[in-house]
Chain A
Amino acid sequence: MSKSNDNNFTISVAAGKGGTGKTLVATSLALALDEQYPGRIQLIDCDVEEPNADILLHPQISSEEPVYILVPQVDLEECIYCGKCAEACQFSAIVVIRQAVITFPQLCAGCGACSYVCPTGAITEVQRQVGLLSKGSAEGTIEFIQGRLTVGDQRATPVTRAAKDCVDEKMIAILDAPPGTACPMQETIEDSDYCILVTEPTPFGLANLQDSVETCRRMDVPCGVIINRHGVGNSGVEQYCENENLPLLLRIPQQRRIAEAYSRGQTLAAADNQWMKPLQKVFDQITNLLTD
């Protein structure tokens, strides 16, 4: 009995380069695993700047809750314009000019330094919405979670964190990460058991894959590679994987048919049932790598 549940891994799907097929892989994998392990799959869209997993999984959303950070509100009756708040703020989100205090909520990290140092208690902190967390289900049994950053807000991290907090240790969680290797991607993959890196076989794909692999290694997250659009470009990515001893988990061919299905909002698995098995095998490979 315990055997069937010792594969409750958290797996991130990431890519240095955008548009290589992260979301396609994450959602297709969720569908394929849902067939094998119904009721045990979570798909969490952590690409909060441009969340797209819902377009491919068509979830029923059952609840939506705002994501807040705390930002300062200054009571000018109490303020003595000493400037200590501005001095303490590392993000230039509060400025004191003579008899005026100006705040820039979009730059605020919500750390509370300003209210901590204020000698007169003139600063209180108020909630400010920076995103939305949606929860629901897809295909009946996949638990679907999506973080969505408010357009105009620049700090993705609190929203990513809120989405990631929904990881259920008793389930197989698949996290769709944002592109790149900077803070939003790192925030997503931190604490994952494994990271699938999706790339394309071009010099662009290779350069960004190398950055992603370095980032995973620095963070001690084991990683493997899926090549999308296999057949175009050159063999650089495959050679790199071989030299670096990186597991090549799957090759998805360049096919206009796949691109067209994707354009309509269809996963690999929905477009062609034959993809179920190879995707389930990807998970088996990861399970073997993690339990050996």
Chain B
Amino acid sequence: MGNTLKQMTIVSGKGGTGKTTALASFAALAENKVVADCDVDAANLYLVLHPDVIESGDFYGAKIAVRDDSLCQQCGECERRCRFGAITTQAVDELACEGCGVCVLACPHQALQLQTVSCGQWFLSDTVYGPMAHAKLLPGAESSGRLVTIVRQKAEDVALQRGLPLILIDGSPGIGCTTVSALADVDLALIVTEPTLAGIHDMERIAELIGHFGTPAAVLINKADINEENTQRIGNYCTHNGLDIIGELPYDETVTEALAAQVPLVEYQDGPVAQGLREAWTRLEQLLLK
């Protein structure tokens, strides 16, 4: 069973290109799958899939330095050693603190120690579309990459328990630690892009990152008719870089109605975007079975 589990992550580089809208529809179309919302920093999939939580736990991520003022002799060694400007003899700047522990090592009076901080919660849920793993990062919390790894582990556990062969993962925008954690060891990466100059620029950066992993990647172009010339440029880039274009969706302002109704688009209407998503899913299934 373990060998046949397939995982696909949706990314985009640039935010707001339609990752979550696409994933919600794929979740409605795909059979026998687990959904994992790994955009833990701005988790939105729950708004469309309406999960019922069956299991949850606290997530302790980052560490920060904590001082025992009764032991502190105000020598300032911590301040001199900290490379992040996070500590003075007066206070610890919790935001700037990287939790590296240099101050703890350097303190001659053992007045400092590292403490783990609660950063949020992970959830395992049931939805009408199957099980879903997701998380809630506390606003202002850190360490989202590690939370992504936990969400993926929960998704894998439930997939193995229930004999489900597929995990669909919603990734985050950007190319940083959360994105990297969502892409590690997946079978397919789907880049959702749009024919704007920013969309193209960001697609190229995320494609380069996926290239580092050697993961097969496909591209879905949203709002393809908003700038035909740019859509052509995306096509050329994909041809030169061995990326499969699995579909082009038109600009359609009514798509937002499904969002407002909090229903996957393919369940809400059957307009050109919904049809495009159905066709895209058929192509993705073929790619995943390869």
- A: residues with CB less than 8 A from B are 15-20, 23, 49-50, 52, 55-56, 70, 88, 90-91, 109-113, 116-117, 149, 151-152, 154-157, 178-184, 186-187, 190, 202-204, 207-208, 211-212, 214-215, 218-219, 229, 232-234, 254, 256, 259-260, 262-265
Q: Assess the B227–A264 pair: CB atoms within 8 A.
A: yes
| Distance of A179 Cα from B137 Cα, bound (Å) | 14
B44 partner, pick from A23, A49, A204, A256, beta carbons under 8 A: A204
Q: Assess the B175–A151 pair: CB atoms within 8 A.
A: yes
B99, B140, B223: most-surrounded residue (chain A CB, <10 A): B140
Which chain A residues border B141 with CB–CB below 8 Å?
Answer: 182
Cβ-closest 9 pairs across A and B: A18-B15, A19-B16, A111-B100, A180-B41, A49-B174, A214-B139, A18-B173, A263-B227, A263-B196
Which chain A residues border B140 with CB–CB below 8 Å?
Answer: 181, 186, 214-215, 218-219
Q: Assess the B101–A90 pair: CB atoms within 8 A.
A: yes
Q: Assess the B208–A151 pair: CB atoms within 8 A.
A: yes
A116 partner, pick from B81, B201, B223, beta carbons under 8 A: B81
**Chain B positions 74 through 118: 1 when the CB is less than 8 Å from some CB of chain A, otherwise 0:** 000000010110000000000110111110011000000010000
Q: Assess the B16–A18 pair: CB atoms within 8 A.
A: yes
Q: Assess the A207–B201 pair: CB atoms within 8 A.
A: no
Q: Assess the A149–B176 pair: CB atoms within 8 A.
A: yes
Interface: B178 (CB within 8 A): yes
Q: Which of B224-258 contact A (CB under 8 A)?
A: 226-227, 230, 251, 253, 256
A260 partner, pick from B144, B208, B226, beta carbons under 8 A: B226
Residue on B nearest A254 in the bound complex, by CB: B253
Q: Assess the A233–B227 pair: CB atoms within 8 A.
A: no
| Distance of A254 Cα from B202 Cα, bound (Å) | 23
Q: Assess the B105–A184 pair: CB atoms within 8 A.
A: no
Q: A90-B101, A203-B260, A262-B196 are in contact. Are A116 and B106 (CB under 8 A)?
A: yes
